[in-house]
A and B are shown apart, each in its own frame.
Chain A
Amino acid sequence: MEDQRFVLRGEGICRDFGPVRVLFGVDFALRAGEVHALVGENGAGKSTLMKILGGYQPPTEGRLVLDGQPVAFASSAEAEAAGIVLIHQEFNLAEQLTVEANIFLGREIGGGFLDLKAMRARTRALLAELETDIAPDMLVSDLSVPQKQMVEIAKALVRDARVLMMDEPTAVLTAREAEVLFRQIHRLRDAGVAILYTSHKLDEVKAIADQVTVLRDGREVVTAPAASMSADAMAEHMVGRDVSDLFPPKPPLGEGPPVLEVEHLSVPGRVADASFTLRRGEILGFAGLVGAGRTELMEGVVGLRRATGTIRINGRPERIRSLRDARRHGLAYLTEDRKGAGLLLEQPMRTNLTLLGLSRFAGGVLIDEAAEQRALDKAIKDFDIRAPNRAVRVGNLSGGNQQKLLLAKTMLVEPGIVIIDEPTRGIDIGTKQQIYGFIEGLARAGKSVIVVSSEMAEVIGLCHRVVVMKAGRIVGELEGEAISEQAIVRHAMGLEARAA
């Protein structure tokens, strides 16, 4: 007979986009009072499966079963009415409304006139439950990313969610904020909510999930209790091969004068008095908590932000007041915000690839489109970019392929110094491995690379030297054997006085 604890099941779910099938007969079940993690590489079909469960898209084949009854949701609103709520990776909040108005959007209390008092009280209670200090009357546009996440969760709670699905909720959270989120997830689970959750952070999955389902290329590879599977095993199921050598061997680092010297650089309100150097062929890591000022420091160095201080390139002091100045001196910056600042999502790969280095293709007056095509051919080959066709909008590529394209775009101007901000955020483990290989290759080719990353393993596995920032200041520097997770954390949390 039917297991009473199954709230929502998908049976033989298939989904086609045009001629392309992305889900192949996936069986999937969520139980009340259980945290179920869905893992897989980008493009494995996680988001599609979630959207089908959440009523955003109908399955092409197969059916959904809710409380033992087959259902077909015509819209996400119908699914929500049935208590199934999906929190997207990109939030669905009205930025110009208050927290309270957002939480009750479409479910306002009161008839003709709104019962503001009741809504205010309920909001306050919810936010207190979620252990945040967000005020109900704050504008969503003034909130930080983790705060917005909390508002999304509060919104789901008001809707009496029985099934709560979260698409990579921790991608934008610091470790501490994630802790708070996990406590809430466990609290909801204990209250009988079925929770579906995706993440690229497998340790985290291991720690908080009860069940794990691994998807690969649109097929369910395995579903098992989280306790029975190690993070390595999950990764192997995801990729279908051994991933123990995620990081390439560090390239040898010769002695030599620094190619980049930054002295007493300050970005008003963000970074104070930062100094560091970078040598030829070196991979230098910047670690720290989110908000420590790493991105702001780098944007100050490349002229995207107003900054004071001295920058020397190959020993010569240079004034860098715009990205154009930086490029002229062989300095390139690869943004952490791939979709917001990196790529034009509506445009094809070719125009995206050449946007930064367009002057190279417009020597006369007209752009040499044939040369652009050749550059794209080369980029696709060199960076292993996988796209269904050349005309595809970049927004339709997977995150990993977008990141590769962004890397290709940046490298097209042949910089000697590359600053890469969060090189692998939100991309799958197979592509990560490739990108680490590219970075190592750049260093081996004599370029100098700065890697800003919130992923500890990344800076440890990749970098010759690691600079740690905290609250806008450089608080420590680790080299060679001294680079360890513990040492970085101690610096980042301010537990260690600056060495030397």
Chain B
Amino acid sequence: MSSMAGEARSARRAGFNLHVWGPVLALVLLVLLGIALNPNFLTYNNITNVLARSSFIGIIAIGATFVITAGGLDLSVGSMAAVIAGVMIIVMNALIPSLGIGWGVVLVGMAVGLLAGGVAGVGNGVMITRGRIEAFIVTLGTMGIFRSLVTFFANGGTLSLNFQVADVYRPVYYDGFLGVPWPIIVFVLAAVGGEIVMRRTAFGRYCAAIGSNEQVARYSSINVDRVRLMTYILQGVLVGVAVLLYVPRLGSASATTGVLWELEAIAAVIIGGTTLKGGFGRVWGTVVGVVILGLIGNILNLQSFISPYLNGAFQGVIIILAVLLQRSRRT
């Protein structure tokens, strides 16, 4: 134990590490800014609202942290979310005659969502590992395929969940436990679980090893293809989890569902300090990144000096700053 303390001590001796604490610092500044600008910022309603909305991207971004840490990339998650939402709605509507209105239909729908996510992840992962095609290309391709599929399912319009089923399903987004909405609870659980998996399990270690140097991983008898495949499956299942929390919010899916979610997820991962080229990832950083992105939009809406339409511009600046900070660590 004494040597572990030594390791920590020598890291601390390096002084305040902007690379580690930068995202947290940015988050604190944003919160202070929010408080200064609008007294409503710190209210229970506002905070739970921001966090609940951020939890979809957040859950997806936790998956993306693993994919990126292992040196991969998944651009398809936004479209994947849309197609999973579409499939869930179609299946639930179709099952009403046999199962009736009630939790039975909803539970089957949720299971279908998770399964669809897993299958999509297997598809991406198998093409990347067995097919030896660049992750960027494969997921760019499936991004188009998924997006087009949901448009096709909806026949160019909107897929709507049966109103009565939607009423049953609603509490999954709008209710919670001890006043905390379910999406936030699931997000927190996924984050804690993800952090433990990344930091303390062989799988997390292997992801970092593969992203750092695939050859070293191979020569260390790591089954590189299998670990890679697992990251894409994990990503797919987490997209499924996010979608089954998202569907009760609007009760519909269309060609515009989940548009640009992939970029927000990747941005959150990068802001959180995970290295884009792989080899190092931290889940708690991703969580901070997601909340930062959510707060920027929220703060812009709560003040009147700057147009909220500039939301994207602020997010862009934050992303670029985050990468700049990452680079300055090296020199």
Q: Is the pair A344, B209 in contact by a Cβ cutoff of 8 Å?
A: yes
- Chain A residue at minimal CB-CB distance from B215: A341
Which residue of chain B has its CB nearest to the CB of A392? Answer: B10
**Does chain B have a CB within 8 A of A231?**
no
Task: Determine the residue in chain A with the shortest Cβ distance to B213.
Answer: A344
Q: Which chain B residue has the least Cβ–Cβ distance from A325?
A: B221
Proximity string of chain B (198-218) to chain A, C-beta cutoff 8 Å, 1 when within and 0 when not: 001110011011001101111
Within 8 Å of chain B (Cβ to Cβ): is A496? no
**CB <8 Å contact, B201 and A366:** yes
Task: List A residues 150-196 near B (Cβ within 8 Å).
Answer: none
With a cutoff of 8 Å between Cβ atoms, the chain B residues found around residue A324 in the complex are 221, 223
Chain A residue at minimal CB-CB distance from B2: A373
Question: Which has the most chain A C-beta neighbours within 10 Å: B1, B11, B219?
Answer: B219
Nearest-neighbour CB distance to chain A for B273, whole angstroms, equals 14
Is A370 a contact of B200 with CB atoms below 8 Å?
no
Q: Judge whether A344 and B219 touch: CB under 8 Å.
A: no
Q: Are B202 and A367 in contact (CB under 8 A)?
A: yes
Tier of interface size on chain A: 35 or more
Interface residues of B in 1-60 (CB under 8 A from A): 1, 3-4, 6-7, 10-11
- A333 and B219 CA atoms in complex are apart in Å by 8
Q: A260 interface residue, CB < 8 Å from B?
A: no
- Closest residue to B221 on the A side, CB-wise? A323
| Docked-complex contact A304 and B200, CB < 8 angstroms | no
Count contacts between A and B, CB distance < 8 Å: 85
Partner-binding segment picked from A129-137, A270-278, A346-354: A346-354
| List of A residues within 8 angstroms of B279 by Cβ | 344, 346
Is B321 interfacial (CB 8 A cutoff)?
A: no
- Give complex CA distance A367, B201 in Å: 5
Bound-state Cα–Cα, A363 to B206, Å: 16
- Check A373 against B218 for contact (C-beta < 8 Å): no
Interface pair A335/B219, CB less than 8 Å apart: yes
Inter-chain CA distance A433–B7, complex, in Å, is 30
Residues of B within 8 A of A323 (CB): 218-221
What B residues does A370 contact at CB under 8 A? 1, 4
Chain B min CB distance to A173 (Å)? 23
Are A362 and B216 within 8 A (Cβ)?
A: no
Chain B residues whose C-beta falls within 8 Å of the C-beta of A356 in the assembled complex? 220-221
> Is there contact, CB below 8 Å, between A355 and B7?
no
Once the chains bind, are A390 and B7 in contact (CB under 8 Å)?
A: yes
Instruction: Mark contacts of B214-253 with chain A using CB atoms, 8 A cut-off: 1 yes-contact digit, 0 otherwise.
Output: 0111111111000000000000000000000000000000
A358 to B200, CA, bound (A): 11
Within the complex, the shortest CB–CB distance from A494 to chain B, in Å, comes to 31
Shortest beta-carbon contacts, A-B, top 6:
A323-B221, A341-B215, A390-B7, A341-B219, A389-B10, A355-B220
Where the two chains meet, the residues of B that have a C-beta atom closer than 8 Å to any C-beta of A are 1, 3-4, 6-7, 10-11, 196, 200-202, 205-206, 208-209, 212-213, 215-223, 279-280
- Other than the given A347-B208, A356-B220, 9 more pairs (CB < 8 A) read A323-B218, A323-B221, A342-B219, A348-B7, A350-B7, A355-B216, A367-B202, A373-B3, A391-B10
Query: Which residue numbers of A lie inside 8 Å of B, CB to CB?
Result: 304, 322-324, 326-327, 333, 335, 337, 340-348, 350-351, 355-356, 358-359, 362, 365-367, 369-370, 373, 376-377, 389-391, 409
A-B contact pairs, 22 of them (CB 8 A): A322-B221, A322-B223, A324-B221, A326-B221, A340-B213, A340-B215, A341-B215, A344-B279, A345-B213, A347-B208, A347-B212, A355-B205, A355-B216, A355-B217, A362-B202, A367-B200, A367-B201, A370-B1, A389-B7, A389-B10, A390-B10, A409-B220
